[in-house]
Structure 1
């Protein structure tokens, strides 16, 4: 035990000295669990991070119980175990499963958990203030002209530029191929991009030097600023950002090409280059199959991230009927997911 906490064995130790080694969140939780166990005559378990006197971080697992006499807790006893190696192994395994092996950024599944599911709170402490989607539009051309090794080198270089643009306060992911995403929190840790994202991202389109060859990058960026973030609107926000990126890709001009917008609880207000500028006047709905009024109502609820039960309640129908609406929407729009349906609806002016 002395060795675990980095203390000399030849002197008495004050408990307060040991408790002070616990990281603040772990220390608060430890005290809460300890008090509750004594009061309720129960057991508790905890994994906690400590910083030893020499500055070495360690992880310990604590299992404790209470000895009870005459209905009163008289002794707290238990076990402490050094699990630093175990935690490091799990961290390595998680990195293999959650991170892209080429760029070192989070992968698509990790992005899904953080943004859509909001199930990995440690990666994004505050609600996001902006979602930016990026694409290396000429990746296929780079692979064809200079080879896949050159393409990989460009992706690695681009990932490093994204990390520098995020200033360490952004969650950055590679979604696959030449597509990337960045979440910037709304708590002020990362300087806000609005209204001048062009300056922050201006270096992303610089050529990449590979084996003495200067390889140009064609970069398109779609950004959505969120006044407020509600997890149920994540799909609509993503669809809006993806549409902005597609409009940026069609624009002429020097790389990177950027289109940005603001999302306010289901209403989108254009910022900077208007996303609608990439579509011909009067093109909304061209080639779009007609939806019934009830299907349109269901589609609007889908764009706001409502669940099937919530849509059923709003429309005063059964969940089975809502599923039929969604199935017909997918069939008519020739899509497979909610995100694709919302994307096509935005693109054709239905939302």
Structure 2
């Protein structure tokens, strides 16, 4: 990451947090969690990987700045960016979906849902500026959680790399006793025609397949929160949420924490990965993801912060690009939830649509 870029930025509906310098770095999630419980540091922030056994990119900042609005960064121009490779090729992704579908349909299966993703390797004619990408993402969807994170703390190939994105999904926030989750699952493409767009959203809200996929996520979040929280409120019906490219089903969940020593980081680690990016049950789905995809890195992990009072905010790291240290190549992912009713062609199309958010921000011609 270029020195002119801050090591951490998170923009959301409640404001923007920007880190100024790094005092300490943590690749070990357990060590970072213990440090926050001890109260020895005022704040921890950064990115969690999809696989929590992999190195994290967590930091203790020297100082932080909070503002009501995102930074006034330029939105361009960017150098030309093109797709260099599809990982895997579309037919292989369909084959992976068919393999997952066979496991979902097996008579002795415990698997109810798995999220499978594919990636695009992009190359640029000159180094990309994460600040410009973030500004473009937020201009396209001001309601999203925009983020830019230095991944150096994870070491190895991540030294000097950065993660930039705009996620629609809040994993968890804690403010005093109050806890909020906003799980997403189930999606449909936006349309230019207003009437067709409204009809698409209504069809998503009525979709048996998507409602089933969404309910699996809500049920899993409820079960994780149940021993940790009280006074849980979960709407009976999901809500429609729209981004620039996609309609989503979303259910806002609120609760009160039982033990004030349970930090926002503790909650994020307990919830991650939700079935929105992993599956049901989590361990079976994660094993299948590892078998079919390999290491996801920081895609479908979480980005956020936790302060010395245990308060904090963590969002799911989707709709993102991982910028290489030289800034001239980047890796982007998109995934979709596979359930028994899933169709491989439809699921491939869903990932293509979800790529749209980051590819549009990068100016990629498709």
Please give the range of the TM-score, normalised by the shorter of the 2 chains.
under 0.3
Higher relative contact order (CA 8 A, sep 6+): 2
Q: Which has the higher strand share?
A: 2
Q: Which has the higher helix share?
A: 1
* TM-score normalized by the length of structure 1: 0.23
Larger Rg: 1
